[in-house]
Amino acid sequence: MSKRIEVNDLDVYYGSFKAVEGVSVEIEPRSVTAFIGPSGCGKSTVLRTLNRMHEVIAGAWVDGEVLLDGANLYGPGVDPVNVRRQIGMVFQRPNPFPTMSIRENVLAGVLLNNRRMSRSDQDDLVERSLRGANLWNEVKDRLNIPGSGLSGGQQQRLCIARAIAVSPDVLLMDEPCSALDPISTLAIEDLIEELKQEYTIVIVTHNMQQASRVSDKTAFFNIAGTGKPGKLIEFGETTKMFSNPSVQATEDYVSGRFG
């Protein structure tokens, strides 16, 4: 299962401050879309609006629409909890639940929602998710130790396993490798390549090489200056964005002339 996301003329606010202005992108199912741009340009903010995590911050709100297979996430009567069950998220810093074991962390989506599930189904789900996150072989003998006892890269893959265990349609990743070493980064990038077969993936990254390695399409965000809203400058095929962008600012950024 994998769904299409369409963002139409989205403005994102923190209180009265307009953080991002006029974003319109179309994200195809079973593809990887990368958001790149300098710090503070609003790429993480836009990512968080895609599963309504933006409004968790006090005073944050959006104007515009985000369509998931045609259904507006911000339509009247939409329960953000239902949205988040279909659109999973992996954060910048690995954040396994410290009170839970590895196994419980993977099952968190089930256990925390008080859903009943037989022991054997749980075992299947744990193995499937951990295999999906390329972590099974490393932890299969110690599923009952606390998740916080793993290394940073393993913790991040545990968080990915936790996110895919609830079988979302879309997976959002907010700089998933920025706290990791090159080896763990490679493991996660390989994983993204595999997950692409089943999920729509949107990834925010500061690392342009990473964007060019893993993504099919790239969106470049930029900001005119402090206090001004961030804007989507260009959106297109990754190969074109990195070789022959149509906007000068994109070329300056991807070639390292600024940012």
Partner 1 sequence: MTTTTTAPRRETSNPLTAGQLPAWGPWALLGVAVLIGAAVSGLVAGASGTDFSIVSTVVIGYVIYLVAITVVSQLIEGGRKATDRLVTGVVVGAFALALVPLVSLIVTVVINGAARFDMTFFTWTMRNIVGEGGGVLHAIIGTLLVTLWAAIISVPVGIFTAIYLVEYGKGALSKAITFFVDVMTGIPSIVAGLFAYALFALFAGEGVRSGFGGAVALSLLMIPTVVRSTEEMLKLVPNDLREASLALGVPKWLTIAKVVLPTALAGIVTGVTLAIARVIGETAPLLIIAGFTTNMNYNVFDGRMMTLPVFAYNQYVSPGVQEQAYFDRAWTAALVLILIVMVLNVAARLIAHFFAPKAGR
**Chain residues in the site for partner 1 (CB under 8 A):** 51, 53, 56, 58, 81-86, 88-89, 91, 93, 95-99, 108-109, 111-114, 145-146, 148-149, 159, 162-163, 166
Of 62, 54, 47, 4, which Cα lies nearest the Cα of 29? 4
Smallest separation, CB 55 to partner 1 (Å): 10
- Residue 28, classified by CB atoms within 10 Å of its CB into exposed (0-12), middle (13-18) or buried (19+), is middle
Adjacent-strand bridge partners of 72:
67
Nearer to partner 1, 53 or 202 (CB): 53
- Residue 155, classified by CB atoms within 10 Å of its CB into exposed (0-12), middle (13-18) or buried (19+), is buried
Nearer to partner 1, 112 or 224 (CB): 112
Smallest separation, CB 45 to partner 1 (Å): 14
Query: Are 180 and 188 contacting, i.e. CB atoms less than 8 angstroms apart?
Result: yes
Structure tokens, 12: 């994102």
Nearer to partner 1, 25 or 170 (CB): 170
Smallest separation, CB 170 to partner 1 (Å): 12
Nearer to partner 1, 10 or 165 (CB): 165
DSSP class of residue 57 equals S
Nearer to partner 1, 36 or 47 (CB): 47
Of 230, 229, 196, which Cα lies nearest the Cα of 215? 196
Nearer to partner 1, 164 or 223 (CB): 164
**Looking up tokens 């022991």, which residue turns up?**
119
Smallest separation, CB 220 to partner 1 (Å): 25
> Could you write out the DSSP letters of every residue in 114-139?
T----HHHHHHHHHHHHHHTT-HHHH
Smallest separation, CB 110 to partner 1 (Å): 9
Smallest separation, CB 80 to partner 1 (Å): 8
Structure tokens, 119: 């022991």
Phi, psi of 114 (to 5 degrees): 60, 30
Nearer to partner 1, 37 or 147 (CB): 147
Smallest separation, CB 81 to partner 1 (Å): 5
